[in-house]
Amino acid sequence: MDDSSLDEKSEARERSIPVGRPSKRPPHTSFRGNCVHALDDKGRVSLPSEFRRVLGDKEQRGVVLTNYVSEGSRCVEGFALDSWEDFEARLREKSRFSSKLQRLENFYLSRASECGIDSNGRILVPAYLRAYAGLDKEVVFTASIHGFRVWDKRVWDTIFAASEQALLENPDLFADVDI
């Protein structure tokens, strides 16, 4: 180890480089792509490095995970903390006693958990979310437009195949999204 590497480390510490592995590569603007990672016995899993890059400095603040049903299958949804806070702020403006809001609170909000990112770039997925989405060993991270999703690998394989099949059967499937 030479002096320059020492300098670099202390400099990084001083500039408050986010928790987790520092990254020299530039931050990304959106979550993209997908990757397969292993959940360990403690329920921890490495956040894909590409996703950590999206979080950038916000990485130190962690992510918010909650449960969701996408295309009829259970998964975990994840968001950068500040994007989740924006969402909460908009909800706070709704009528306090609205029954629709309560549905959303009881299913979605009530299961949201803020997860810090450890020094190895991992998050701890709460036991109740692992149980909900059936996350066992192999999980798949997939990008969504606002954040990302985490699936049990077998569930994801099924979902993906079904999506392709739907597109084969209806070539205008995406045209209907009105983009």
Partner DNA sequence: GGGAATCCCACTTTTACCCACTTGATACCA
Partner DNA sequence: TGGTATCAAGTGGGTAAAAGTGGGATTCCC
Q: Give residues in contact with DNA (CB under 7 A).
A: 5, 19, 21-25, 35-38, 40-49, 52-53, 116, 118-122, 124, 126-127
99 contributes a contact to a second copy by CB under 8 A: yes
| Residue with Cβ nearer a second copy (21 or 68) | 68
User: If we measure between CA atoms, which residue out of 133, 32, 113, 137 comes closest to residue 65?
Assistant: 113
Give the nearest distance from C-beta 32 to a second copy in angstroms: 5
Minimum distance from CB of 53 to DNA (Å)? 7
For residue 122, the partner it binds in a second copy, DNA, none, with Cβ less than 5 to 8 A by kind, is DNA
Of the candidates 172, 136, 179, 128, the one whose C-alpha atom is nearest the C-alpha of residue 154 is 136
Q: How many Å apart are CA 171 and CA 75, to the nearest integer?
A: 26
Residue nearer to a second copy on the CB measure, 88 or 136: 88
* DSSP for residue 117: B
17 binds, among a second copy, DNA, none (CB under 5 to 8 A by kind): none
- CB atoms closer than 10 angstroms to residue 89: 9
User: Per-residue x/- mask for a second copy, residues 37 to 76, rule CB under 8 A?
Assistant: -------------x-------------x----xxxx----
Q: Name the residue nearer to DNA (CB basis): 22 or 173.
A: 22
| Pair 23, 47: CB distance under 8 Å | no
On whether the CB atoms of residues 149 and 68 are closer than 8 A, the answer is: yes
| Residue 38 contacts which entry, a second copy, DNA, none (Cβ below 5-8 A, type-dependent) | DNA
Nearest Cα neighbor of 49 from 66, 25, 29, 65 is: 25
> Alpha carbon of 119 to those of 3, 5, 18, 47: distances in Å?
24, 19, 9, 11
Q: How far apart are CA 148 and CA 67, in angstroms?
A: 12
* Residues near a second copy (CB under 8 A): 28-30, 32-34, 50, 64, 69-72, 85, 87-88, 90-92, 94, 96, 99-114, 126, 128, 142-146, 149, 159-160, 163-164, 166-168, 171, 173-174, 176-177, 179
